[in-house]
Amino acid sequence: MATINYRPQGVCARGISIETDGDVIESVQFQGGCDGNLKAIGKLVKGMKTSEVIDLLEGNTCGRKPTSCADQLAQALKEA
């Protein structure tokens, strides 16, 4: 089991904590941001392979921002 702690850029969330078992996501927790939506993202990606989550969420934007909390999750997984 590995833990990734990531500080997102350009979004409301202040942090992302990701637990993985190999290349499978066990849990995702966001600090700050849109609480309900971010809890839902964590539930939806649980059990998925990191590469699948990156493919699914990378490039997602929020309003006029060039990124989103979902995109930042993908960036965190790419850096790990």
Per-position b or e across 10-44, b if 16+ CB within 10 A of its CB? ebebeebebebeeeebeebebeebbeeebeebbee
pLDDT in tens, 55-73: 999 999 999 999 999 999 9
Three-state DSSP state, 8: coil
Cα–Cα distances (Å) from 68 to 2, 4, 18, 62, 71, in that order, read 24, 18, 16, 5, 5
For residue 19, what pLDDT band results from cuts at 50, 70 and 90? very high
Predicted TM-score (pTM) of this structure: 0.96
Rounded distance between C-alpha atoms, residue 31 and residue 51, angstroms: 23
